[in-house]
C-alpha cells in the first residue's frame, strides 16, 4: 500500500485528487493540506511514501518546499500544477512525475504505476549500475553517468564529453549507445546528440539548453522529447 498525502492551496484540486485516489486499492491518501506548515508537521511525525505537491502556492514554491525537506523525510514526489514551464525544475529534484491540471485519471494511473515500480526497487534493494564501460583508446574505460555532459555522434563514431575529463572517442553507433544508457537518465534529442536529462536547464520546441550550450531537437525526436520532459 502506498501511503500518500497531498498539499495544494486549492481545496477543489484536493477534492478531485481524493476522489481519484479512492478508486485505487494500491494507494491510501492519508491526509490533504492547504497549509505547508501543517503538512510539514505531519511529515515530521508520520512516515509516508508519496507526496502530491502543487508548485505555485502562496507560502513557498512547491519545488522549494520539497528541497527544504530533510533527506530522511523526503518521500517520492509527484508535482501537480497548471503550469507546464515548471517541468524541468521538477526533474532537478528527481520528481516521479509532473501532472498538469486538470489531472486526467489515465495520467494519474501511469504516475501511480511508476511509484509502485520505484518502491518495489527500493524495497528489494536492486543495485543499479551508475556507470558504463566504453572501449576507447585501446582500453576499456569506466564512464560514470554523472560525469557525462553530452554525447555527439559522428558517422560510425561517438564523442563522449565529460565533466573535468578529456572526451572519449569510441567506435559505436548512436543507436547502440542510446540502448546502453538508462532511459530515465538520458534522452536522445537528435540523430547526433544524446543529453543527460538532469543537466537540462531549459528547452523549447526546437532547442535544448544545458547551461550556456544549446542543442537542436530533431524532427524525428520531438515527440519523444516532449513526452520525456513532461513525464508523460
- In CATH, what number does 2-124 get? 3.40.50.2300
Nearest to 13, CA basis, from 36, 30, 32, 29: 32
pTM > 0.85: yes or no:
no
Grid coordinates in use for 22? 479512492
Q: Quick one: pLDDT at residue 143?
A: 94
For the chain of 232 residues, list the mean pLDDT of each consecutive stretch of 10. Answer: 95 94 94 95 91 89 88 86 64 79 90 90 62 91 95 94 95 92 90 94 90 92 78 44
Q: Which element (helix H / strand E) includes 38?
A: helix 36-45
> What pLDDT does 123 receive?
65
- Radius of gyration over every alpha carbon of the chain, rounded to an integer in angstroms: 20
Q: Which CATH superfamily, name and number, covers 131-229?
A: LytTr DNA-binding domain (2.40.50.1020)
The domain ranges of the chain are 2-124, 131-229
pLDDT value for 126: 44
Asked if 193 and 150 count as a contact pair (C-beta separation under 8 A), the reply is: yes
Distance between CA 76 and CA 109 in Å, rounded? 16
φ/ψ of residue 106, rounded to 5: -65, -40
pLDDT of residue 56: 86
Which position has the grid cell 526497487? 121
Please write the tens of the pLDDT for every residue from 50-93: 999 998 888 888 888 998 888 777 899 999 888 766 555 555 67
Amino acid at each position: 500500500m502506498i501511503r500518500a498525502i497531498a498539499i495544494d492551496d486549492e481545496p477543489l484540486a484536493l477534492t478531485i485528487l481524493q476522489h481519484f485516489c479512492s478508486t485505487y486499492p494500491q494507494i491510501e491518501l492519508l491526509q490533504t493540506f492547504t497549509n505547508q506548515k501543517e503538512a510539514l508537521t505531519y511529515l515530521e511525525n508520520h512516515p509516508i511514501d508519496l507526496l502530491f505537491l502543487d508548485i505555485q502556492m502562496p507560502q513557498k514554491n512547491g519545488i522549494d518546499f520539497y528541497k527544504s525537506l530533510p533527506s530522511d523525510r523526503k518521500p517520492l514526489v509527484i508535482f501537480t500544477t497548471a503550469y507546464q514551464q515548471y517541468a524541468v525544475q521538477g526533474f532537478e529534484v528527481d520528481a516521479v512525475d509532473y501532472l498538469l491540471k486538470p489531472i486526467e485519471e489515465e495520467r494519474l494511473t501511469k504516475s501511480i504505476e511508476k511509484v509502485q515500480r520505484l518502491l518495489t526497487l527500493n524495497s528489494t534493494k536492486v543495485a543499479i549500475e551508475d556507470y558504463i564501460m566504453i572501449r576507447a583508446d585501446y582500453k576499456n574505460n569506466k564512464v560514470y553517468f554523472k560525469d557525462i555532459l553530452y554525447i555527439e555522434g559522428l558517422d560510425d563514431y561517438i564523442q563522449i564529453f565529460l565533466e573535468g575529463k578529456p572526451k572519449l572517442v569510441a567506435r559505436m553507433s548512436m543507436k547502440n549507445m542510446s540502448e546502453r544508457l538508462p532511459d530515465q537518465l538520458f534522452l536522445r534529442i537528435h540523430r547526433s546528440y544524446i543529453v543527460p536529462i538532469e543537466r537540462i536547464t531549459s528547452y523549447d520546441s526546437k532547442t535544448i539548453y544545458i547551461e550556456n550550450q544549446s542543442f537542436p531537437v530533431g524532427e524525428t525526436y520531438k515527440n519523444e522529447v516532449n513526452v520525456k520532459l513532461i513525464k508523460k
